[in-house]
Amino acid sequence: MVFKKENDLRKIKEFLTLVENPKVELRHYKKPVLVWAVDEGTVFYSFWEEEMLTRFGLENVDGWDFQEDLLFCPDWIGDTEEEDLEDFDLDDEDIEELSHFLHRNMDDKD
């Protein structure tokens, strides 16, 4: 598994709010870092102190403390490689502009 990290406190709090894990208390960390990996719809995660993670390196992380279904995690946790076409908000005017652009470019090739 390839682990990723997030040290933005707002994102970490968002993650904890959604997964509702009562075992994690951020007040125990000076600079918390969320480290996670996704495998087959399950998020495997743990929290590290930033200094420790820097010392040992993200590439040396090979375990986790908790796991959660990806459905209960923020969108930014999932794979960023997959683009969701529903995220594009095109109205009729945008579609018309694209159509004119494509027709002009096709006419230029002739």
Strand, coil or helix: 38: strand
DSSP 71: G
pLDDT of residue 94: 75
Confidence of residue 109 (pLDDT cuts 50, 70, 90): low
Confidence of residue 83 (pLDDT cuts 50, 70, 90): very low
Mean of pLDDT values over 75-94: 67
Classify strands 42-49 and 4-6 as parallel, antiparallel or unpaired: unpaired
Percent of the chain predicted with pLDDT > 90 = 67
Residue 102 has pLDDT above 90, yes or no: no
Q: pTM score, two decimals?
A: 0.69
Residue 13 has pLDDT above 90, yes or no: yes
- What span, in angstroms and rounded, lies between the C-alpha atoms of 77 and 98? 32
Residue 34: which H helix or E strand, with range? strand 32-39
